[in-house]
Amino acid sequence: MLASMVRQLPRRIPLAELHCHLGGAVTPAVMWGIAHSQGIKLPTKDYWQFRDMITASPRRGHSFDGYLQLFHWTELIQSSPLAVERSVYEVVGGAYRKNNVTTMELRFNPMKRNRGGEQDLDHIIAAALRGMDRATLEYPIRPGLIFCLDRAFPYDLNEIIAEKAISWRDRGVVGIDIAGPESVTFRAAEYRNLFRRARGFGLGITVHVGEAGPVEEVGQVIELLEPDRIGHGVKAAYDHRTMGMLRERGIVLEICPTSNLQTEVVSGWEEFRWIFDQFRRNEVRFAISTDGPEMLKTYIRDELATLGRLGILSYEEQLQAAQTSLQASFVPKVTDVAAAVRKPATRVEVEREEA
Ligand SMILES: [Zn+2]
């Protein structure tokens, strides 16, 4: 029993990353290079200070707003077509090399990459798709982009982002999301028609909810926006009715444990033990993701290994989470192809971590 609890998922089992923000996913050394190649004036000339600026650390403390502030510099540095292309290319290839991730959904807000409208949105989007294309020429990985609308944006701007996702859907944009800080002006009801329209065009729907905000919002989002998946949603564990809604609709939660600990949305691993127990009892489906592997210094396999080591998820449950992530991906055809057929990686171990 104990032995099966500490068994780790072998590297040959492929993974899908469903919840990963571009702003938190590029290795600091690459971000440093991109910043310099564009001549961006950084507040420090010391690499290690820069690294501290864009990664979570105990020194920085834990909070939801503090975590969102980490994105200030990464989003600024990524705000050009060249920077976006290189960032996407590095993240997609890196996910395969580091974790044998074979399906990679990467999300970002294109409007937070165009320097407040100075740069053309379509150029930013096309650059992201070029980065994806380059990575797929090098590695057996299926990538897809999710565009994040922002809770703090007015409806008009969010509508533009959703319409861009629709326009670019045949080129590799696979879904839309709503992210950003809690906002008193945000009303899920306003987005009902827009999300219905996006779904009609075949885009997947995921929404950040049940993270820092109240549990009631989860039910509202489910009813109004009909998401296929929910970003985080850990608060739903505290409400029986919401758990029922998730189960009945087969909605998959994208759970990012380290992120929730960093933002103090969840108090510790013991609370996670309880949360996962609620998911188990209520038959709620979930996938394990990172939110931002480089910013949070964790990969999916680290997350699964920790959950296994602490006895929060059994080996079989880790396997199930990996399968759920592949099944719930918005990247086309991924569910039609048996993962084993593609034999993405025969190498069981790597000598050292590849950048
Ligand atoms: Zn997120």
For 172-187, write each residue's pLDDT tens digit.
Answer: 999 999 999 888 899 9
Residue 347 lies in a domain: no
Domain that holds residue 30: 12-329
Determine how many CB atoms are found less than 10 A away from the CB of residue 314: 16
Residues with CB under 5 A from ligand 1 (ion): 291
Could you read off the pLDDT of 77-96 as tens digits, one per residue? 999 999 999 999 999 999 99
Residue 264 lies in a domain: yes
Residue 171 lies in a domain: yes
Q: Band of the pLDDT at 344, cuts 50, 70, 90?
A: low
Indicate whether 2 pLDDT > 60.
no
Report the domain count for the chain: 1
pLDDT of residue 343: 62
Q: Band of the pLDDT at 193, cuts 50, 70, 90?
A: very high
Centroid of ligand 1 to alpha carbon of 169 (angstroms)? 21
The pTM assigned to this predicted structure is 0.92
CATH code assigned at 65: 3.20.20.140
Centroid of ligand 1 to alpha carbon of 351 (angstroms)? 31
Centroid of ligand 1 to alpha carbon of 320 (angstroms)? 22
Centroid of ligand 1 to alpha carbon of 20 (angstroms)? 7
Centroid of ligand 1 to alpha carbon of 212 (angstroms)? 11
Could you read off the pLDDT of 159-176 as tens digits, one per residue? 999 999 999 999 999 999
Centroid of ligand 1 to alpha carbon of 257 (angstroms)? 11
Centroid of ligand 1 to alpha carbon of 347 (angstroms)? 31
Residue 2 lies in a domain: no
Centroid of ligand 1 to alpha carbon of 206 (angstroms)? 10
Centroid of ligand 1 to alpha carbon of 260 (angstroms)? 10
Centroid of ligand 1 to alpha carbon of 231 (angstroms)? 6
Residue 322 lies in a domain: yes
Centroid of ligand 1 to alpha carbon of 220 (angstroms)? 19
In percent, how much of the chain has pLDDT > 90?
A: 83
